[in-house]
Chain A
Amino acid sequence: MRARRRVARRSVALAAAALVTALVTAACSGTSPVGGSGSGGGSSSKSLNGNATGTVTVWYRSGFAPLFKQLAKNFNASHKNLKVNVVPVADADYITKLATAIRAGTEPDLASLDDVDSEIFISKNEFLNITKEVNALSYKDKLSPGALKLATSGGRYYGVPDFADMSVLWYNKTLFKQAGLNPSQPPATFAQIRTDATKIRALGGSTYGFSFAGDCPGCLTFTLMPNVYAGGDDVLSAQPGHEKATVAGNKSLQATLKLYHELWADKVVPANDQTQNGTTWGKDFQAGHIGMLPGGYGAAASAPATMLSQFAIAPLPGPTGGYSTYDGGANFGIPAGAKNPAGAWEFVKYALSLPSQQLTPIGGVEPIRSDAVTASFKARYPMVAQIVGYLSHGQAPYTVAHDALFNLVSQPWQEMFNTAVYNGDVSGALKQGQSGFTSVLSDLQG
């Protein structure tokens, strides 16, 4: 009896060991050590033209649901043999989910992702080379150059812009008038921003001259970087994968941080802005309490018409003039392992067509084609038309490290901002930023 018991137990132990081995092997085999799901990433041997059939799975960031749901509806109504299935993915996990899906072989046919994250995948050959197809687009020269650059590597295109989400300077014409300022002359230099903000704050009460989202690193990147770009500088240099931090000695960044510190110290900014993490960003501007608000179109566009008519838009200026904007928004990328790349390209062309581009304001964003601003579009969305006019001056960080530098309060960008603006130590902040950026980059590049 004892012997039988021992034998029985041993066979169970063996079975368990076999199970463990099987599972480990299965788990490991699901991920190849080399690249993603391995189907020739980066090559354009798959033809993307010609008859696409079946279904196309498209991932998009769930905040833009109204736009994508409408696009899908229109697309499916007008295409007989090809159907699109648009899948929302929460913004915060999008990159992780896409990356994991690629490893696991369950990637979508098409991904619409934050354009500054494109290089994360492009630099590792995870998106298809679509240079031929992009060059064949008749409107290619009308696409946002800044966004297109973010989809480039080694002179080739591995993605194409989808829609734009750019930053501007909103200002309240009524408050300008009340403060004795000319509402058709928004500030064009830092000095002017400071004087205008002070005059508006002097109106007293709960009226403030300026506002920013002080605890939202992404919002700050979106609104401060144009000030730096307009001054002719950047915080990163060289190709993605080999970036260097150019924070130390960055004159425009120094001037920008100094401006924000002064605005904070002058108390022309609401004290609450220090804790504004983006969730109620723009609410007080929409209520008419703020003179100037750098932000995106969506920051104030949802105000009621009576308020909206008092607002106007200006481009974000550089320290002593010039202007720029942040080329936010989305790029498309076709994962290397996509099952239906031809269908994916079909949807891309559809999304870039004029009618689809002119739908973008329903998602709170802007078209990525400058020729989408027709006379009727301008009449309907005058502010969006104005924003699209800034496309030629737009830039965004060209890097694989965007999510590791600019996204979280624990990352170097926010820490640098805090030190400069709330502690008043601008030169210390630049040093801190330089070493913070450098250490993150070396981790990623090592």
Chain B
Amino acid sequence: MTHTLAPSSARDRGPARAGTARGARRPGAPGAQGGRGGGRGLAYATAGILLSLVFVLPLAWALIQSFEPGSDIAAVPSARDFGHLTFANYTGLFGRNSIGHYVLNSFLVALGTAVVTAIVALLAGYGFGRFRFRGQGVVFGVILVTLMIPFQAILTPLFLELNQVHLTNSLVGLALFYVTFNLPFGVFIMRNTFLQIPAELEDAAFVDGAGHWVMVTRVLRPLVLPGIATTVLYAFLFSWTEFLGSLTFITSQKSFTLPVELFNLEVGTYGQVNLGYLVAGAVIAMVPCVVLYVSLQRYYVQGLMSGSLKG
């Protein structure tokens, strides 16, 4: 399947236009034309709204419940009573439990992971997607193998190895670990992204005298940005919610990340369990995910969708 793009205008395409330009023919499936009959429209709206409610309900409920005191949540309700809504869970978490500290740790690790993954995956994707060299398949395969290995299987040897280079109990070491396990997905996406770039675009740029650096950062950027956004978002989210690796590699409390803190709240490491704290902690963990997703959404969804086109 080839797509034609007018090369000369490639340089001024912004991401939004790249999206529609790809499907230069309109999306094909039936239902694309609006209003094929009021009945169809109503069915669509009903299904859409009902399903949306189902999908969002648990999260919205958690948000509301995070304002209930823990004792209310654990109490046997004769009727659901939201009479004592309060900020207490949040003030407690940020105060006595210093959850802000763990949020910061998680954030630093996630950001570092996202940035490094994006850079490394971009390079590799460019190499796989636009170059040909012998053993290409093998190298790609080796990187992909990571997808199939549960890291629980290599946890002990990995810990011992990281310990030798003083990277255990270190947020940097943890980020490197996350980067590595995000690479298969990131490289896959970036490779697909680069594969879909038509040769004419590159050739034109080369003829114009562009070097590789300019090629990637200027010429191909608009086409490549969705893939990068996808990789960044995926790596950030993975790192943000990852729990077992952090639990294993980080031994001192000051370097804990947020999911570890949530787990401690669940099992009552600090004393009696407060379900309100747990729910509020979960909400705190949710917020950056949602914010990041909504803002990068356009790129992300396109990136995933385009990434899935070519195997």
Contact = CB atoms under 8 A, between A and B. Distances in A.
Interface stretch (B44-52, B186-194, B246-254): B246-254
B133 A9 contact: yes
Contacts of B266: 279
Contacts of B293: none
Interface string A40-83: 00000000000000000000001101000000000000000000
A349 interface: no
B251 A97 contact: yes
B77 interface: no
B159 A100 contact: yes
Contacts of B157: 27
Contacts of B264: 62, 90
B156 interface: yes
A104 B163 CA distance: 7
A112 to B, nearest CB: 15
Contacts of B156: 100
* Main SS class of interface, A: helix
Contacts of B273: 279-280
Interface in B158-202: 159-161, 163-165, 168
Contacts of A283: 74, 272
In this complex, the interface size class of chain B, counting residues with CB under 8 Å from chain A, is 20 to 34
B141 interface: no
Interface in B248-286: 248, 251-253, 264, 266-273
Given A26-B161, A106-B163, A63 B74 contact: no
A88 B163 contact: no
A89 B272 contact: no
A443 interface: no
A65 B247 CA distance: 19
Interface in B78-128: none
Interface in A119-162: none
Contacts of A90: 247, 264, 269
Contacts of A88: 253
A103 interface: yes
Contact of B160 (A62, A103, A302): A103
A103 B163 CA distance: 10
Interface string A6-30: 0001000000000000010011011
Contacts of A29: 164
Contacts of B135: 9
Contacts of B133: 9
A65 B270 contact: yes
B71 to A, nearest CB: 9
A18 B163 CA distance: 20
A79 B125 CA distance: 59
Contacts of A23: 161
Given A27-B157, A91-B269, A62 B163 contact: no
A88 B260 CA distance: 14
A9 B157 CA distance: 29
A27 B164 contact: yes
B74 A280 contact: yes
Contacts of B159: 100, 104
A62 B269 CA distance: 7
Contact of A31 (B160, B165, B248, B271): B160
B78 to A, nearest CB: 12
Which of A9, A90, A93 has the largest count of B CB atoms less than 10 A from its CB? A90
B160 A87 contact: no
Contacts of B270: 62-63, 65
A238 interface: no
Given A9-B133, A87-B252, A89-B251, A280 B163 contact: no
Given A279-B272, A280-B74, A280-B273, A92 B267 contact: yes
A101 B270 CA distance: 23
A89 B264 CA distance: 11
Contacts of A278: 268
A63 to B, nearest CB: 6
Given A65-B270, A105-B163, A302-B272, 14 more contacts: A27-B160, A31-B160, A62-B270, A63-B268, A90-B264, A97-B251, A100-B159, A100-B160, A103-B160, A104-B164, A104-B168, A278-B268, A279-B266, A279-B273
16 contacts: A9-B133, A9-B135, A26-B161, A26-B164, A26-B165, A27-B160, A29-B164, A30-B160, A63-B270, A90-B269, A92-B267, A92-B269, A93-B247, A100-B160, A103-B160, A104-B168
